[in-house]
C-alpha cells in the first residue's frame, strides 16, 4: 500500500467519523425539537382549557346549578364556553385516536373529561348543545359511554342507600 493510498484511506476514515458525528448530532437535535413541539402543543391545549374554565361561573360545579335559572344572556355566554370545552375535548380525543398523543397525557386528559362530565351542569350543557351541534360519531359515542357509566354508578349507589 502506497502513501497516497494511506492518506486517502485516512481522509475516508475521518469523513466517515465526521458523517457519523453529524448524523448523531442531527438525531439528537431532531429529538429535542420534537420534544419541544410536544411541550408547546401541550401548553397550548392547557391554555385553551384554562381560558374556558376561567370564563365559566364559579358555581358551575355545584350540583344544583341549572341553565334554566339563568338569564338568556348568561345562558348563552356559558353555553358558548361549554361548546368550546366540548370542541377541545373532541380535538383531544381525535388526536389521541390518531396516535398523536401519548398515553400518559391522554390518560390525564381522559380522567379530567370523565370528572367534568360527572358534573350536572356539563351533562345538561351536553344535552343542550347536542340539539344544534354535531360531533363526529366516535367522540359522541365515547361521551355517551361515559355518561352511561356514571348513570349506572349513580343507580347502584341509590340502591345501596335504600337498603
Residues 38-71: tens digit of each pLDDT: 778 788 989 999 999 999 999 999 999 999 999 9
What SS3 state is found at 69? helix
- Considering the entire predicted model, what is its pTM? 0.77
Identify the pLDDT of residue 112. Answer: 94
**Cα–Cα distance for residue pair 25/81, rounded to 1 Å:** 45
Identify the pLDDT of residue 36. Answer: 79
Q: Domain limits at 135?
A: 3-162
Residues 112-141: tens digit of each pLDDT: 999 999 999 999 999 999 888 889 899 999
Identify the pLDDT of residue 72. Answer: 94
**HEC states along 86-111?**
HHHHHHHHHHHHCCCCCHHHHHHHHH
**Cα–Cα distance for residue pair 74/96, rounded to 1 Å:** 33
Torsion region of 115: left, alpha or beta (phi above 0 gives left; psi -120 to 50 gives alpha): alpha
The count of structural domains within the chain is 1
Question: Would you list the DSSP string of 151-162?
Answer: HHHHHHHHHHHH
Identify the pLDDT of residue 18. Answer: 86
Amino acid at each position: 500500500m502506497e502513501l497516497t493510498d494511506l492518506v486517502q484511506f485516512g481522509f475516508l476514515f475521518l469523513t466517515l467519523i465526521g458523517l457519523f458525528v453529524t448524523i448523531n448530532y442531527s438525531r439528537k437535535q431532531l429529538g429535542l425539537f420534537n420534544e419541544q413541539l410536544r411541550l408547546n402543543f401541550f401548553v397550548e391545549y392547557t391554555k385553551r382549557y384554562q381560558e374556558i374554565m376561567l370564563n365559566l361561573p364559579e358555581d358551575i360545579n355545584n350540583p344544583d346549578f341549572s341553565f334554566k335559572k339563568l338569564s338568556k344572556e348568561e345562558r348563552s355566554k356559558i353555553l358558548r364556553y361549554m361548546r368550546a370545552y366540548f370542541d377541545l375535548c373532541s380535538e383531544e380525543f381525535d388526536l389521541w385516536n390518531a396516535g398523536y398523543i401519548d398515553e400518559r397525557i391522554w390518560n390525564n386528559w381522559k380522567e379530567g373529561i370523565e370528572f367534568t362530565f360527572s358534573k350536572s351542569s356539563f351533562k345538561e350543557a351536553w344535552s343542550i348543545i347536542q340539539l344544534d351541534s354535531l360531533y363526529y360519531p366516535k367522540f359522541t359515542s365515547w361521551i355517551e359511554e361515559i355518561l352511561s357509566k356514571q348513570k349506572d354508578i349513580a343507580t347502584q349507589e341509590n340502591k345501596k342507600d335504600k337498603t
